[in-house]
Amino acid sequence: MEERALDTQELLDEEKEFGFARVYSVELKYKERPRLDRELLYANMERYTGKLEQPGRQESEAKLAVWEANEEAGKDLLHFFHLNYNVHYQEGDMPAQTSLTDMEHRPVSEYATAIQQAWHWGEAEQTLQECRHSLLLIDMMASGLEPKSRLELFTGALRAILETAPCDALYFRESDKLVEPGAYLAAIEQGAGLYGAMNVRFYNVKGTGSDRHEGLMDTIGLAALGIPDVQCHFYDLAPNEVAGVLTDIGYYLFNQGDVISDGETIGFTEDMRWRCEHQYALAAPRRVVIDLDPGEPHYAGRQGSGEE
């Protein structure tokens, strides 16, 4: 038992170093208290994650089961068992699960870093200031799924809730990203599955003694799913162009897995040859990233040594 406990702790330590999220979560923010139509929610959940099993229903191929907390618990809780998404363990298969519950509403100040990077949504801070109620959606026993299946399940559950009780703002905890719900749903419909799950951040780097324009851009959210994030520390490159590169590589890694080897170069034009290397992120939180070296005279860091 001690040896097994040690192995488990080592696994947890490795996941912490990588930035992996054993529980994935998103907050749904509301200006008015939401009201959930249970039947509509179950119908939507069936549509996006699998058939629903409810007491009294006789379906031989039910694909989802629901547990509701006792009202005396003082908090609404819906717990879904997604039989279409089984996780394999030595002891046997277990369905991945999602839970929807009330959560204590948090002040706007607690979303400061997300607001600073909300380049895609200029009204994010004002919308948060007007919100007074929150729901929390999390997954459980789902970390053993392949990243694409895990996000597919979570996205389906989130869509079901949004179509039942539309909210005013979404906050993806693992990507520290505030999202306008309508934009999120439109992006998902268009195949941009990482719209909420991956955030592209930009930092102006000052005080280094150089007269050149120095910047740092990275993605956050991929490591939480078990895939390296991407970063580039650079001089005199257009941030929008760097953001496009990071986004494209982020989607490539999400679709193909961690298939880029250290020392390999990647590029989308004949002249583009950016060298790749796995490192720890320069910007918090601590997680594994693929560092991109665009070459001289643009690279502002040093791969391998950790020096800048």
Task: Please write the tens of the pLDDT for every residue from 30-42.
Answer: 999 999 999 999 9
In this prediction, residue 272 carries a pLDDT of: 80
My answer on whether omega of the bond before 95 falls inside 30° of 0, hence cis, is no
In this prediction, residue 296 carries a pLDDT of: 85
pLDDT of residue 2 exceeding 70, the answer is: no
CB within 8 Å of 283: residues ≥ 6 apart: 201, 203, 216, 218, 231
Query: What band does 18 get if pLDDT is binned at 50, 70 and 90?
Result: confident
Q: For the chain, how far is it from start to end, CA to CA, in angstroms?
A: 45
pLDDT of residue 55 exceeding 50, the answer is: no
pTM across the whole model: 0.86
Residue of higher predicted confidence among 68 and 187 = 187
* CB neighbourhood size of 79 (10 A): 15
φ, ψ of residue 214 to 5 degrees: the values are: -110, 135
Residue with tokens 């702790």: 9
In this prediction, residue 268 carries a pLDDT of: 74
CB within 8 Å of 52: residues ≥ 6 apart: 42, 43, 45, 46, 62, 63, 64, 65, 66
In this prediction, residue 58 carries a pLDDT of: 46
142-194: pLDDT as tens digits: 999 999 999 999 999 999 999 999 999 999 999 999 999 999 999 999 999 99
pLDDT of residue 16 exceeding 70, the answer is: no
Query: What band does 208 get if pLDDT is binned at 50, 70 and 90?
Result: low
Q: Please tell me the least confidently modeled range out of 115-129, 158-172, 226-240, 288-302.
A: 288-302
- Highest average pLDDT, of 34-43, 46-55, 261-270, comes from 34-43
Chain mean pLDDT for the chain: 86
Average pLDDT of span 238-266: 94
